[in-house]
Amino acid sequence: MLIRAGYEIRYETEVATPMLALLSIHPSRNEDLVTPHRIIGTPDVPMYGYTDSFGNMCTRLTVPAGGLTLSCDFTIEDSGEPDPVTPDAIQHPLEDLPDDVLIFLLGSRYCETDRLSNVAWSMFGHIVSGWERVQAIVEFTHNHIQFGYNFARPTKTAWDAHQERQGVCRDFAHLAITLCRCMNIPARYCTGYLGDIGVPVSDAPMDFSAWFDVYLGGRWHTFDARHNQPRIGRILMARGRDATDTALTTTFGPAWLAGFDVHTDEVAALDRG
**Co-location of 261 and 194 in the same domain:** no
**pLDDT class of 270 with cuts at 50, 70, 90:** low
Orientation of helix 131-144 relative to helix 169-182, angle to 10°: 140
**Co-location of 143 and 206 in the same domain:** yes
**Co-location of 257 and 236 in the same domain:** no
- pLDDT, one tens digit per residue, over 40-68 is 999 999 999 999 999 999 999 999 999 99
- pLDDT, one tens digit per residue, over 121-146 is 999 999 999 999 999 999 999 999 99
**How many domains, in total, are found in the chain?**
2
**Co-location of 237 and 171 in the same domain:** yes
154 inside domain: yes
Give yes or no for residue 153 having a pLDDT over 60. yes
Give the structural domain span for 6: 2-80+248-267
| Residue-averaged pLDDT of the chain | 96
What is the amino acid identity at position 237? M
Segment among 24-28, 103-107, 269-273 with least mean pLDDT: 269-273
- Residues 90-118: what's their mean pLDDT? 97
7 inside domain: yes
- pLDDT, one tens digit per residue, over 183-221 is 999 999 999 999 999 998 887 778 999 999 999 999 999
**Co-location of 242 and 257 in the same domain:** no
**Co-location of 232 and 116 in the same domain:** yes
**Co-location of 104 and 225 in the same domain:** yes
**Co-location of 31 and 153 in the same domain:** no
**Co-location of 56 and 128 in the same domain:** no
Give yes or no for residue 271 having a pLDDT over 80. no
CATH of the domain at 118: 3.10.620.30
181 inside domain: yes
